[in-house]
Amino acid sequence: MHIHTPACTCFIIPSSMLRKLAVQADEAERQHLLEQMERSAFLRGQRAASGLAAPGLQVAPGVKHRTVYDAHHKTRLPGKLVRTETAAPVADTAVNEAFDGAGATYDFYLQILHRNSIDGRGLGIDSSVHYSKSFNNAFWNGRQMVYGDGDGKLFTGFTHALDVIAHELTHGVTQYTVPGGGLVYDGQSGALNESVSDVFGSIVKQWHLKQTVRKADWLIGAGIMTPAVGKALRSMADPGNTALTWSGDDQPGTMAGYVDGGDVHTNSGISNHAFYLAAMKLGGHSWDKAGPIWYQALPLLHPDATFADAAQATAKAAELRHGVGSAEAAAVRGAWHEVGVV
């Protein structure tokens, strides 16, 4: 019998990006990036072997329970406890940003989607900052958030981008909401896993900034890299547009550019663009209609879901929310049609 362990150690920076940057780097920097890729691979393997997360502390809806730890540049988690829910801000900016970003994400899920924390049952949100030395990544490991500081040459740190925090925490939401323990981190289901995180990462940022779909920049990870690397990791409005993102951005925006066996972060551009198109058709704020439709589609998926399954699930969710034959359902179907999935 094949047993799924879909919950992943999911990184914001794909290993393919680190590999491309390593090719352009000097010897010392190349060595540093290759070591980090090895570390990431090790963490992924560890996660896959451990299965689903044990439930953490459960609390009532509306009662946040955030803790932030300092890993002190080591790799042992969680590290030293430095801030709790009742404590005041500390002198360390990364600690406060991790705390506030977790809070904004929690508030969005509770107020807009009526979800009680990451698991829907009040799970406490733990975060560790200053992970490893000059670590160029942030990740959700199935139990908690972990942030590196970046090396200052390529990346400037990961706690100051709210969409990065919300993206990573949404991997936890997917893990607990898609029946069977989440979306398998491989192929189209892996690309969907990444895309769902980009979608809600972007929505949380837009909600926090009170932006309409037309005012939003639709960029993921703007501000976490140095100008030498680029402006953002991905664009949902125009996947693969290196002028908006970075020189190695190879995301396709439609199935015509789908990379068979490609990196999950690469192919996620297709479903990202489908969401962007649906949100633009529906107008207003992304959290008014488009976001809730995508959220309601999650329980209709299965661990090995394809783009076609996601198209069907989001159309079904639109019908459940707005009626069969509704303009909303038509907008969702139209978006998937435009990217060549339907």
Which residue in the list 32, 65, 167, 168 is annotated as catalytic? Answer: 168
Among 272, 152, 144, 180, residue whose Cα is nearest residue 220: 272
Phi, psi of 10 (to 5 degrees): -110, 120
List % helix, strand, coil for the chain (3-state, nearest 5). Answer: 45, 10, 45
Spatial distance between the Cα atoms of 177 and 194, rounded to a whole number of angstroms:
15
Catalytic annotation present for 265: yes
Which residue in the list 171, 265, 285, 322 is annotated as catalytic? Answer: 265
Q: What are the C-alpha distances in Å from 215 to residues 202, 211, 230, 290, 299? A: 12, 6, 21, 16, 30
**Amino acid code (one letter) for 68:** V
Query: How many CB atoms within 10 Å of residue 209?
Result: 11
In sequence order, what are the residues at sequence separation of 6 or more whose Cβ sits closer than 8 angstroms to the Cβ of residue 43? 9, 139, 141
Query: How many CB atoms within 10 Å of residue 50?
Result: 15
Catalytic machinery residues:
168, 265
